[in-house]
Amino acid sequence: MKKYLLVSFLAIVMLFPLQGAFAQVKNSPAKKDIVRGIPENDHINAFRVDKIIGSGVINLDGEPIGTIDDLVIDIDDGSLVYAAIKTGGFLGFGGKLLAVPWKSLTAVPSEGIFIIDQSKAKLAKASSFDANNWPDVGDRNWRAGIYEFYRHHLPSPRNAVPATSTQKQKSHIGYRPYPGYTEQPDFYPSVWQNIYGKMFDPQKIETITGKIVRVEFDKVMKLIVYTDTKKPVLVALGPTGYFESQEKILKPGDKITVTGSGVVVDDTPFLIATKIKEGNKELQVRDNEGHPIWIGWKQSK
């Protein structure tokens, strides 16, 4: 039996908040479970698949890509592996399907849509297939290629293809290392260096306002913000350990204003944050030249 199955009607745990178009449960006055002490209105993010299939998908340019046509699940561990996106006429795909890692999709329940963390230029290079001629979705080499294209590491312990950039990072004119530290990896661990420093361009500073719809916790912390102008923006912060140490922990649903340098790497646009504001609180990330404030923090903490 193949270990991967296509699923159309199955309750699966989803990584997005209970609100808006996907909401299934209305809040009621909190009552605590006698045994576990858990309020009755505490819910995991579980949704029926038939509420997700057919949902629209947009890219990082805010353009409609298509709709979620089907899902693929790993029956060994119950995890969602891929979403098959029906593309319609996007970029001339002519109604074909794109297999996209579930990690690449972020839900915006209030809009009833999903965001794919890729640009139009990147998706133009994606491979597709006919709905009546699916590839072997359980083939590990095929899976590794999909994860590599969309820049995600394969889940442990089956890491086979590391995500590597095919586009050389370009330094902006006038870039200089921050005084007092070296960029050699044997002096500072790489994650504590000036991440994205050579790409940061002080001439391309911009500001956006919107709600956080996703927080990615890896060695480097990233956000996806759905702006007030209904456009998704990928925001790069810095070492996850540093931001987890802050008094203010960023989370989905927070309304924030982000200032940073707009760059494009591997056809993917994102902001390298300099500061983040929520209400009257402000978190400084870098100075206006792109020098991170966490340099030396790990050693002196």
Confirm whether 172 is domain-assigned: no
**Upper half-sphere CA count for residue 301 (Cβ side, 13 Å):** 9
Distance separating alpha carbons of residues 154 and 161, to the nearest angstrom: 7
Q: Are both 145 and 201 inside the same structural domain?
A: no
Q: Phi and psi dihedrals of 50, rounded to 5? A: -70, -10
More confident residue, 65 or 178: 65
Rounded (10°) CA dihedral 99, 103, 104, 107: 110
Q: Which of 149, 171, 203 is the last residue of a domain?
A: 149
Confirm whether 71 is domain-assigned: yes
Q: Are both 83 and 209 inside the same structural domain?
A: no
The CATH number for 51's domain is: 2.30.30.240
Confirm whether 166 is domain-assigned: no
State yes or no: pLDDT of 61 exceeds 70: yes
Digit-coded pLDDT (tens) for 234-269 = 999 988 888 888 877 889 999 999 999 999 888 889
Q: Are both 195 and 288 inside the same structural domain?
A: yes
Q: Are both 39 and 122 inside the same structural domain?
A: yes
Query: Percent of the chain at pLDDT above 90?
Result: 33
Q: Are both 139 and 195 inside the same structural domain?
A: no
Q: Are both 23 and 82 inside the same structural domain?
A: yes
Distance separating alpha carbons of residues 120 and 268, to the nearest angstrom: 9
Confirm whether 215 is domain-assigned: yes
DSSP annotation of 286 reads B
Digit-coded pLDDT (tens) for 62-117 = 999 999 999 999 888 888 889 999 987 766 667 789 999 999 999 998 888 999 99
Q: Are both 129 and 219 inside the same structural domain?
A: no
Torsion sign over Cα 157, 4, 128, 213: negative
Q: Are both 204 and 75 inside the same structural domain?
A: no
Digit-coded pLDDT (tens) for 124-169 = 888 889 888 999 988 988 888 888 888 765 444 333 333 333 344 4
Q: Would you state the pLDDT for residue 191?
A: 56
Q: What is the mean pLDDT of the chain?
A: 76
Average pLDDT of 14-34? 43
State yes or no: pLDDT of 1 exceeds 70: no
Q: Are both 138 and 265 inside the same structural domain?
A: no
Count of domains forming the chain: 2
Q: Which of 127, 149, 171 is the last residue of a domain?
A: 149
Q: Which of 93, 123, 149 is the last residue of a domain?
A: 149
Q: Which residue has the tokens 């591997």?
A: 266
Q: Is 142 helix (H, G, I), strand (E, B) or coil?
A: helix
State yes or no: pLDDT of 4 exceeds 70: no
Q: Would you state the pLDDT for residue 186?
A: 38
Nearest residue to 208 (alpha-carbon basis) of 226, 188, 182, 186: 226
Q: Would you state the pLDDT for residue 84?
A: 94
The CATH number for 264's domain is: 2.40.50.140
Distance separating alpha carbons of residues 239 and 286, to the nearest angstrom: 12
Confirm whether 160 is domain-assigned: no
Q: Are both 45 and 127 inside the same structural domain?
A: yes
> Range of 212's domain?
190-300
Average pLDDT of 50-55? 90
Confirm whether 165 is domain-assigned: no
Confirm whether 65 is domain-assigned: yes
Q: Would you state the pLDDT for residue 41?
A: 60
More confident residue, 121 or 58: 58
Q: Phi and psi dihedrals of 143, rounded to 5? A: -60, -45
Digit-coded pLDDT (tens) for 179-221 = 433 444 433 345 567 778 888 999 999 999 999 999 988 778 9
Q: Would you state the pLDDT for residue 14?
A: 39
Q: Are both 115 and 251 inside the same structural domain?
A: no
Confirm whether 182 is domain-assigned: no
Strands 232-239 and 220-227: antiparallel
Q: Are both 125 and 25 inside the same structural domain?
A: yes
Is the distance from CB of 90 to CB of 31 less than 8 angstroms?
no
More confident residue, 40 or 230: 230
Residue 44: enclosing H or E segment and its boundaries? none
State yes or no: pLDDT of 272 exceeds 90: yes
